[in-house]
Amino acid sequence: MGTNYTVILNRTQDRWWVANVPILHATVQGRTRSTAVKRAKSLIRFALGILQEEGTKPPVENRSNLEVIRVRAVI
């Protein structure tokens, strides 16, 4: 059974998709949303594999402390 991790997707002005995995402090990107999501999944599997090899427990998200907001800044 796997663990779910939060991935935040953002589309840039040059039309790339950026996928941020906050618990791992890591980011990947893709030309399409699908590619960015696939790369995020691969990144998570890779990071968890390294942690397992090192004998380190995987990080656990505390979703009660997670809040994603939008802030509008006007210059």
**Which residue do the tokens 């402390």 mark?**
65
Question: What's the mean pLDDT in 16-28?
Answer: 94
Helix ranges (DSSP H) in the chain: 33-54
Lowest mean pLDDT among 45-49, 51-55, 71-75: 71-75
**pLDDT of 6 higher than 70:** yes
Closest CA to 33 of 15, 21, 47: 15
Q: How confident is the model at residue 1 (pLDDT cuts 50, 70, 90)?
A: low
**Domain extents in the chain:** 8-65
Instruction: Please give the model's pTM, rounded to 2 decimal places.
Output: 0.81
CATH for 8-65, options being 1.10.10, 3.90.550, 3.40.50, 3.30.160: 3.30.160
**Which structure tokens are listed for 17?**
């998709």
Tens digit of pLDDT for each residue in 23-42? 999 999 999 999 999 999 99
Do 49 and 41 form a contact (C-beta atoms < 8 A)? no
Give me the pLDDT at residue 41, please.
96
